[in-house]
Amino acid sequence: MEKQRPVDSGVHDRDAMLERLRAEHRALDVRLAELDRHLSLTPEEQVERARIKKLKLATKDRMLRLEPRRAPPPAG
C-alpha cells in the first residue's frame, strides 16, 4: 500500500498569506477610492492618502514575492 504524502504546509501557509495580502490590498484600494472621490482633502487626509499608496505598493511587492513564478512563454 502506497503511503500518502503529507500536504506541504509551506504551500498552504504561502496561499493563506497571499489571500490575506490580497484582502489587505483590496481594503486599501477601497479607502483610496473613497479619498479620491473628495473634491479636496484635509492635510490629514493628504497624509493618509500618501501612506495608503505606499502601503498598497508594499503589499503588492510582498504578493509578487510570494506568488509562484511562471515560466516565460516559449520564444518564437
> What pLDDT, in 10s, does the model give residues 29-67?
999 999 999 999 999 999 999 999 999 999 999 999 988
Q: What are the domain boundaries of the chain?
A: 14-66
In angstroms, the Cα distances linking 8 to 1, 37, 65 are 21, 44, 19
Tell whether the model's pLDDT for residue 24 goes beyond 80.
Answer: yes
What is residue 75's predicted lDDT score, i.e. its pLDDT? 75
Q: What is the pLDDT of residue 61?
A: 96
Task: State residue 58's pLDDT score.
Answer: 97
Burial 24-63 (b: 16+ CB within 10 A, else e): ebeebeeebeeeeeeeeeeeeeeeebeebeebbeebeebb
Would the pTM of this model clear 0.85, i.e. be above it? Answer: no
